[in-house]
């Protein structure tokens, strides 16, 4: 005999409890009627969407959740629903997994392990559960767990001691590079420790800077992966549990099914960027995107992501040349726009820059030209993009990468203007690799854009390396300082860098915190992105060194 389970990879809207309730009901009926599933397993906090943040503190939350659960109980029969939601009980709020069947709430499990690191703030909202919950579903004893519980030995061991034959794990596990392999290794370890198979369902979709790539899967009691749902796809993906055999040897095992192929790192990052941008645009009701197309590599990649996310018909690119803009940049920007089929405009900014300069002439009397005049060009471009945004209801997509944002190589209220950034957590060296990857899907980024020396073109013959170390060196230092939390002395101890360069880069990172606080959000790619992951004070007296 088999117990068919539908793993529901759904893209929910945070806070839309009514809409999410309908999505749950529709998915359960589809799993029952079209896939003959007996159980449908939803991700963590499905009812609210994830992460709900301070919506969990709203006074009406308890009533809304109760109403939603009652609606689900009344609407769906003849299939077990395992759903994640917040639950108030005895003055406490718990992150809960509940099991509903034929109009009844059979039991509830409260998450034990509450993560309070990186992007997670569970302890701000939730109290920790302490009890194992094991429920019998069609004769199979199922132990429940939620996300972080699987990262710790005790909750799963406790479920086994309570009689579980299989673990259902509800997740909202956000993407970062290498996360997929970490999850697989973790479930292998837990299965081997306990001798229990595990069914792991994960959220799919994006919420502000966080992206959830799905990839729900199941491992057998020896930790072997036997079923893998696709990455970055919504849908219901089934896994069968064999329920016959010798009860003394724990008869429940997932049967082998489809195993979606793994994605390489560039494919995974690119899809995360596309999904993050698509959900941000669609869930916030923007009509489309406008961005400044400079002829450089960052705006070229950003344009490609935008088109892949929402379609060429909803994207407008604007080239805003000035005196220092090369003919090469004009040619490349036009080619990029044509290759991707977007609306393309050329709006020279020289008249506007000249008008500002004339107005400021008296104020600037007796001073030499410096970066003020360079930044003025960027700020005129920012004003231009925001005017188009306001008039047409398009969101401005910024194009700065993580290397630039780290050291402040961007103009506040200029090229930093916008609502979202797909490159915010992507180092410049990765930008080149992603452009190469995107061109394997179809040639959209001219070769010259990838190979020419990067330049902001705010001064004659300017290139980025006039102001910064080479990007190979810069990104290596930034990775060690930002993502690995290595001190200046620890970085120097590697023997790969000179002291002046390391101290200069770290000082630029620290000084630029005020800029990053005013930058748009963007897709989180690494374990330490600028945003929810990294919270440093702007005003501080910390000394660079150890």
Q: Which residues pair with 239 in a beta bridge?
A: 5
Q: What's the residue count for the chain?
A: 546
Q: Give the C-alpha separation, 183 to 48, whole Å.
A: 24
Answer whether 127's CB lies under 8 Å from 92's CB. Answer: yes
Choose the catalytic residue: 4, 147, 213, 404: 147
Choose the catalytic residue: 111, 314, 428, 480: 111
- For 441-502, the three-class secondary structure string (H helix, E strand, C coil) is HCCCCCHHHHHCCCCCCCCCCCCHHHCCCCHHHHHHHHHHHHHCCCCHHHHHHCCCCCHHHH
Q: Residues with Cβ < 8 Å from 73, sequence gap 6 or more?
A: 100, 103, 104, 105
Answer whether 405's CB lies under 8 Å from 299's CB. Answer: no
CA distances to 87, 106, 228 from 135, in Å: 19, 8, 25
Residue 143, Ramachandran bin (φ over 0: left; ψ between -120 and 50: alpha; else beta): beta
Answer whether 45's CB lies under 8 Å from 86's CB. Answer: yes
Query: What's the maximum distance between 2 C-alpha atoms anywhere in the chain?
Result: 92
314 is annotated as an active-site residue: no
Tell me the two tokens of residue 255.
């049967």
Compute how many other C-beta atoms are within 10 angstroms of the C-beta atom of residue 29.
Answer: 16
Distance of CA 212 to the CA centre of its chain: 6
Choose the catalytic residue: 4, 44, 253, 428: 44
480 is annotated as an active-site residue: no
Q: Give the C-alpha separation, 447 to 452, whole Å.
A: 9
147 is annotated as an active-site residue: yes
Catalytic residues: 44, 111, 147
């Amino acid at each position: 005999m088999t117990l068919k389970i539908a793993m529901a990879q759904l893209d929910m809207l945070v806070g839309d409890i009514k809409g999410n309730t309908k999505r749950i009901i529709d998915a359960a009926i589809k799993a029952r009627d079209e896939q003959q599933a007996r159980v449908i397993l939803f991700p963590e906090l499905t009812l609210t969407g994830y992460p709900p943040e301070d919506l969990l503190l709203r006074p009406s939350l308890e009533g809304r959740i109760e109403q939603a659960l009652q609606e689900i109980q009344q609407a769906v029969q003849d299939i077990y629903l395992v759903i994640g939601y917040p639950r108030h009980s005895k003055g406490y709020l718990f992150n809960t997994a509940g099991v509903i069947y034929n109009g009844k709430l059979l039991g509830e499990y409260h998450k034990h392990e509450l993560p309070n690191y990186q992007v997670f703030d569970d302890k701000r909202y939730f109290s920790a559960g302490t009890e194992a919950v094991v429920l019998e579903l069609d004769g199979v004893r199922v132990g429940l767990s939620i996300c972080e519980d699987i990262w710790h030995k005790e909750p799963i061991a406790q479920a086994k001691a309570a009689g579980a034959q299989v673990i259902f794990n509800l997740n909202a596990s956000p993407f970062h590079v290498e996360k997929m392999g970490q999850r697989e290794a973790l479930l292998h370890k837990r299965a081997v420790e306990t001798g229990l198979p595990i069914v792991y369902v994960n959220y799919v979709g994006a919420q502000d800077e966080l992206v959830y790539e799905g990839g729900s899967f199941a491992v057998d009691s020896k930790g072997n992966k036997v079923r893998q749902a696709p990455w970055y796809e919504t849908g219901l993906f089934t896994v069968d549990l064999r329920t016959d055999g010798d009860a003394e040897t724990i008869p429940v095992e997932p049967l082998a099914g489809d195993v979606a192929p793994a994605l390489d790192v560039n494919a995974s990052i690119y899809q995360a960027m596309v999904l993050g941008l698509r959900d941000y645009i669609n869930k916030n009701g923007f009509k489309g995107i406008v961005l400044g197309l400079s002829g450089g590599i960052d705006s070229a990649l950003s344009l490609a992501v935008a088109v892949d996310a929402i379609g060429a018909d909803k994207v407008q690119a604007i080239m805003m040349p000035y005196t220092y803009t090369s003919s090469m940049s004009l040619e490349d920007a036009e080619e990029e726009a044509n290759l991707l089929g977007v609306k393309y405009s050329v709006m020279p900014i020289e008249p506007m820059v000249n008008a500002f300069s004339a107005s400021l002439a008296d104020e600037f009397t007796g001073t030499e030209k410096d970066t003020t005049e360079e930044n003025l060009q960027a700020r005129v471009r920012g004003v231009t993009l925001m005017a188009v945004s306001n008039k047409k209801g398009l969101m401005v997509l910024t194009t700065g990468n993580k290397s630039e944002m780290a050291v402040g190589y961007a103009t506040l209220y200029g090229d930093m203007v916008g609502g979202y950034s797909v490159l915010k957590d992507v180092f410049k060296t990765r930008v080149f690799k992603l452009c190469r990857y995107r061109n394997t899907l179809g040639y959209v980024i001219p070769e010259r854009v990838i190979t020419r020396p990067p330049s902001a073109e705010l001064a004659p013959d300017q290139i980025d390396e006039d102001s910064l170390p080479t990007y190979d060196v810069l990104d290596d230092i930034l990775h060690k300082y930002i993502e690995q939390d290595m001190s200046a002395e620890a970085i120097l101890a590697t023997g790969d860098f000179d002291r002046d360069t390391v101290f200069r880069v770290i000082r630029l990172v620290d000084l630029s915190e005020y800029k990053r606080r005013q930058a748009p959000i963007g897709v989180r790619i690494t374990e330490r992105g600028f945003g929810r992951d990294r919270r440093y004070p702007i005003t501080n007296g910390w000394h660079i060194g150890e």
